[in-house]
Structure 1
Amino acid sequence: MKKPFTLIELLLVISVITILMTLLLPALASVRETAKRIKCIGNQRQVGMIWMSYCSEYNGHLPGMAGNAYTPGYLDYWPEYMQPYFYPAIVKPWLGSNAVAIRRNSILECPSAPFPTPTMDRSRPAYGMLYTGIGGFTIPSWGSAWATSYRNIAQVKSPSRQPAFSDNYLSWDLPERMVGWFRLWPGEGHFRHSKNTKLNMIFCDGHVETKGRDDPIYKSLDVSVWANP
């Protein structure tokens, strides 16, 4: 007959397991974060490919960040302009309506910033388009009329250095935050990777890079409408 474990032996085993969990949990959390960042990069690459496909089909013309050409009297955002390209990530929740909604678990949702509801408003993709430059958005002054000057891909002088899309906030509630688009100003862009120190950014040649707050691209601070240092 085997001798039963003593209390001291049981406590020793529990202590060893506790120590191992203490050592392994941070590593597991890091692995999960890395997996989310990699999936986010994959999502952004697909967004970039769809964006370039739209551009190719329209003779190099880029979709505006927002405007009312698609639905007169209604402010449309870039997911609406490219709705057929993004299906099934984007759907029309109501028959007969031009309004669209963005689905959870789609390429327009970042795994590090999941949507709080099954669908999100059209203006709240997880990734924002640079609203000046390629987005063609002009605001003469706050409170005045917003306008869109549509751009052509030929205007991009250095596609590998020109930002197109970035991780972005989903809510209007935070001060100095925008949804669906971004500026390279302090506070813009959502640093949600690597313990909130990094964000992913798509460039006009389709590649994706992970950037920090000290990166020259981010620190250009909207020095030009193209935000291309």
Structure 2
Amino acid sequence: MKRCSFTLIELLVVIGIIALLAAIIFPVFSRAQENGRATACLSNLKQLGMASLMYAQDYDESFAMNRLTDETHVPKPCNNTAMDFSGLEGSRNTWKRVLLPYVKNRGIFLCPSNGYASKPGDESNTGWPAAEKLPISYAYNGSYFHEKALCKEGEWQFRPRRLAEIHEPTKLILHLESRLEYSDLGNWAISWAPDNNTRKGGLQSHNGGCNFVFVDGHAAKLKLQTTCTQQLWLDGQPDPEDFCKSGQPFPDEYR
């Protein structure tokens, strides 16, 4: 009775077919998993946007300040129009701390895709016990909501942005995803490479797109280039640090 067996060539052919199928299927599964994480992160942003709007309703239609004073941080004079420093960097009081009473779950401050969430953690963590520390994942739109942004428009003191002064709430980014510890990121941070990885930028991405929530409360995943072409960062206000007008290339992950 003859025994059936595979030749070496047949085995190699089968192995090659399996390897080819794996090369095709695994990236598909990986993208599907990342799409699931992106949906979770988008839901978090949606909830943060609603929390910001609830806060505004409670405070005469004024949004939370990006950073606030604390025991060791006080603002610099507003006549210093440079956007580099406000004097409040590193304050233990930021918009995230202000919105905590408006969110049901502290877990919404964490995006499951963000590999930088705890390195080193949110800039407000100094002075808070371990149980109160927050991860890196989300930021204010610093191009518009930075605590010194109004200095560029000729004002002489820090104040919160008011809903009534925003011309197009559906076209102004409120919160976005971040890999950096700062409480806000403007479009100037698009090219800020974490860990000196120039293929990446300061905003967390998902399969080439980034999540945003807008002032009207709607959330969307967009290509970063779209945020520039549709002018979604500034509500028509000028910004000398506008990355969108710099002509610099976008990091590879956003292309």
Normalised by the size of structure 1, how large is the TM-score? 0.70
Please tell me whether the aligned partners of residues 212 and 218 of structure 1 are also in contact (alpha carbons under 8 angstroms).
no
Partner of 2:40: 39
Structure 1: runs of 5 or more not aligned: 90-105, 172-178
Q: Does 1:152 align with 2:162?
A: yes
Deviations 1:116-153 (A, max 9, x none): 54993354631110235345434859xxxx96311222
Structure 2: runs of 5 or more not aligned: 74-90, 125-134, 193-201, 243-255
Deviations 1:54-82 (A, max 9, x none): 112223121011111xx343422111112
Partner of 1:102: none
Q: Does 1:6 align with 2:10?
A: no
Q: Distance in 1 between matches of 2:159 and 2:2?
A: 83
Q: Distance in 2 between matches of 1:202 and 1:225?
A: 21
1:1-229 alignment, distance < 5 Å:
3-8=3-8, 9-68=10-69, 71-74=70-73, 75=91, 76-86=93-103, 88-89=105-106, 106-115=107-116, 117=118, 120-123=121-124, 125-138=136-149, 148-171=158-181, 179-185=182-188, 187=191, 189-190=202-203, 192-194=205-207, 197-217=208-228, 220=231, 224=237
Amino acid at match of 1:56: Q
Deviations 1:84-105 (A, max 9, x none): 223541xxxxxxxxxxxxxxxx
Instruction: Report the 3-state secondary structure (helix = DSSP H, G, I; strand = E; otherwise coil) of the residue aligned with 1:67.
Output: coil
Distance 1:218 1:37, change over 3 A: farther
RMSD: 3.3
Q: How many percent identity over aligned positions?
A: 21
Distance 1:170 1:2, change over 3 A: farther
Deviates more, 1:13-22 or 1:44-53: 13-22
The aligned length equals: 196
- Report which of the two has the higher share of helix: 2
Distance 1:131 1:5, change over 3 A: same
Shift of 1:48: 0.8
Partner of 1:100: none
Larger RCO, structures 1/2 (Cα 8 Å, 6+ apart)? 2
Q: Distance in 1 between matches of 2:60 and 2:24?
A: 55
- Report which of the two has the higher share of strand: 1
Amino acid at match of 2:23: T
Normalised by the size of structure 2, how large is the TM-score? 0.63
Distance 1:36 1:107, change over 3 A: same
Deviates more, 1:180-189 or 1:33-42: 180-189
